[in-house]
Amino acid sequence: MAKKPKKQEEADEDQPVVEAPSKKKKLMIIGGAGALVLLLAGGGAYFFLGSSGEDADVAAQQAPRSVAFVDVREMVINLAPEPNEERARFLKFRVALEVSDPAAVGAIEPLMPRVEDTFQVFVRELRASELEGSAGVYRLREELLRRVNIAVHPARIDAVLFKEVVVQ
């Protein structure tokens, strides 16, 4: 014998009754979601691609920035030996220190012996394999920048620029 389907009144009171949304409600939900996506895409495009006149003014104000360079004398330093290697390796390099405040050059020049000492102490601990490739030279530049800023504090060096780097 087949069971008769329960009528709405006979349904369990514990279970909520869910009505299927009508076609009109479905179209409204889809249309609202589409409008939201278009709004977000337009805002993102404006944020990433658009530029205001204020950005151009800021760039124009920053363009005539004065920069000074302080040369460090050429240095030839022996490197730490590689394991199982008896031949001595050397690093020969010349650098310039970039300073954004030309008035700071006068404060940095008397400290050049301290800067050279800092460079020599650090480079003597390096191995030739640590200087291979552009990544090795980049790490050397970043470490020299960190150490030179400690040596010349309170003056500030913006960049260490290599003029010559030779590992032999």
In a domain, 95, yes or no: yes
Q: Is residue 21 part of a domain?
A: no
Q: Which domain holds residue 115?
A: 68-167
Helix, strand and coil content of the chain, in percent to the nearest 5, comes to 50, 20, 30
Domain for residue 118, yes or no? Answer: yes
Report yes or no on 46 lying in a domain: no
Residue 156: give its domain's CATH number. 3.30.479.30
Question: pTM of the full predicted structure?
Answer: 0.59
Gap between the terminal Cα atoms of the chain: 98
- pLDDT tens, N- to C-terminus, the chain (168 residues): 556 655 555 555 566 656 666 777 788 888 888 888 877 887 777 777 765 555 555 555 655 578 999 999 999 999 988 888 888 889 999 999 999 988 888 889 999 999 999 999 999 999 888 888 889 999 999 999 999 999 998 889 999 999 998 888
Q: Is residue 87 part of a domain?
A: yes
What does the pLDDT read at residue 15?
Answer: 62
pLDDT at position 86, please? 81
The predicted pLDDT at position 61 comes to 62
Q: Is 10 strand, coil or helix?
A: helix
Give the pair of three-digit tokens for residue 141. 């530049």
pLDDT at 51: 56
Domain count, the chain: 1
How far is the C-alpha of 111 from the C-alpha of 106, rounded, in Å?
10
Cα radius of gyration rounded to whole Å, the chain:
34
